[in-house]
Amino acid sequence: MCAEGAWVDEILLQGDGRDVALDVGGPVTRAELRRLVTDEQQRLRAAGLAAGGTLAVQLPPSLACVVTMLAGWRTGGQVALLDHRLTTHEVGKAIARLAPQLVVQPETEVTGTLRGYFDVRSRIAPLRGGRPAATPHVLLQLSSGSTGPSKVIGRTVDSLLTELDRYARLEHFPRRGERSVVLASIIHVLGLVGGLLHGLAAGTQIVLPTTQTVDGVLRAVAAGDRPTTLLGVPSQTALLAAAKNPPRLPQLRRMIVGGELVRADVHERFTRGYGAGLGVMYGMTEAGVIATDLTGATRPGLTPAPGMRIRVEDGQILLALPDTPYVGLADPTRFVDGWLHTRDAGVLDEATGLLTVSGRLDSQVSVGGLKVDLSEVEESISALPGVTDVVVVQGTGIEAFVTVGDRAVSHGLADSLAARLAPYKRPRTLHVLPELPRTVTGKPVRNAEVLRAAARSAASV
């Protein structure tokens, strides 16, 4: 653990104080950012944070969120990031699991699903029973955005700086003197490291749009004349690509997306409509950026990021890491002999060195660029009163197939689930069946077509 977080000043807050570091509803210079971080440090210390202490931050995308993260690290603290869209139930489970000494949340409730950033004031609450850091990690995140039985992923200073070095060595990634309009969440790995931390380290202006509508994003691009990159997820690309008669924005160099595959028709419409490139990245919370194609020249193959060692074994992508990224209890088969088993399917071309990612091997899926663990969704539904069995699959969206003890229970399932799961995790469709299809050995069938056929049959009856 870096006792006083010197890396924050040396890597993230260095530079000419007159330069604009952030644009969050208005320009924030590096000098102003340093002052705000210093002020927030005083607040955190007054609340009891010291080197080796712990805090959980659950703030929406905002200047307050950025400042609190940096101040926590600068103090030498271990910062756990929680998505502001999590329900009270989910946050409670996360806090109980992580046991931070301080919890930082908005003073008042925030609303607005398409907001790019929020103007919020934070409140700092000491947590009785909170514990100091037991590991050298400075960043904790929950896999899949989950607060149940999911994995706690830790990043050390060395891990973050190594990833920042990979970004610095990526040709075509935003550089000093350029702008990066960040659409990806700044508390998840792409927006956090690729957007916020890389921007601070490289001297790139980081812009959060007022709204994440098409008009809001395009206004953010048009607001500056420097070369501009959009950083987001494929669903945002699809939204922009669907716009009729998009304006010509000569400063827009490219959009770079991560989180899931980009459909060929979306790629074509975006690049033709905006006259800009579309690059893709493959990465995961455990390791950050893994492989890229930032120009679209090698799709669907990706080039391993500088310094990233990759191999494919039995169709699964494996990554070489110096230490396990998991904190606390974890599946022992995920990190073995220095290799992280990603549970992603892929093919590595020995001749070209290109990696083709085929999708997930386990139950994790991507919804709007955010990973969702279907087993967590199943667990949440099965815990609802009256539910006797459940299977959750991913098709055009998340679908749940449930059986209930009393048919009347089915009418309140959606409302009950809304209190337990964030909106992006909730099933798009809930099918109530008299019984679930099962294999000859008694296991529930997980084939989506078989389940839908059973639902149609039940509906006809």
Distance between CA 260 and CA 357 in Å, rounded? 10
pLDDT at 362: 63
The residue among 408 and 134 whose pLDDT is bigger is: 134
Q: What is the DSSP letter of 24?
A: S
- pLDDT band, very low/low/confident/very high, at 171 (cuts 50, 70, 90): very high
The residue among 329 and 306 whose pLDDT is bigger is: 306
Among 395, 432, 434, 435, which Cα is nearest to 413's? 432
- pLDDT band, very low/low/confident/very high, at 169 (cuts 50, 70, 90): very high
pLDDT in tens, 177-210: 999 999 999 999 999 999 999 999 999 999 999 9
Domains of the chain, start order? 6-359 (3.40.50.12780), 367-460 (3.30.300.30)
pLDDT at 444: 76
Read off the pLDDT of each residue in 223-243 and give the average, rounded to a whole number: 93
Burial (Cβ within 10 Å: 0-12, 13-18, ≥19) of residue 4: exposed
Q: Does the structure show a pLDDT above 50 at 440?
A: no
Residues composing the chain:
461
Helices (H), 180-324: 189, 198-202, 214-222, 234-241, 264-274
- pLDDT band, very low/low/confident/very high, at 148 (cuts 50, 70, 90): very low
pLDDT at 49: 97
Read off the pLDDT of each residue in 22-44 and give the average, rounded to a whole number: 97
For residue 131, count other CB atoms closer than 10 A to its CB. Answer: 12
pLDDT at 439: 59
Supply the Cα-derived Rg of the chain in whole angstroms.
Answer: 22
pLDDT at 330: 83
Contact 355, 301 (CB under 8 A): yes
pLDDT at 150: 65
Burial (Cβ within 10 Å: 0-12, 13-18, ≥19) of residue 411: exposed
Q: What percent of the chain lies above the pLDDT cut of 90?
A: 68
Contact 391, 427 (CB under 8 A): no
- Residue 421 in 3-state DSSP? coil
DSSP secondary structure string, 211-246? BSSHHHHHHHHHT--S-EEEEE-HHHHHHHHT-SSP
Q: What pTM was computed for the model?
A: 0.84
Long-range contacts: 266-271, Cβ < 8 Å, 24+? 266/234, 266/237, 266/238, 266/241, 267/237, 267/296, 267/299, 269/241, 269/242, 270/237, 270/240, 270/241, 271/296
Residue 190, token pair as written in the block: 């792409």
N-terminal to C-terminal alpha carbon distance within the chain? 62
The residue among 343 and 217 whose pLDDT is bigger is: 217
User: What phi and psi, each to the nearest 5 degrees, are found at residue 425?
Assistant: -95, -15
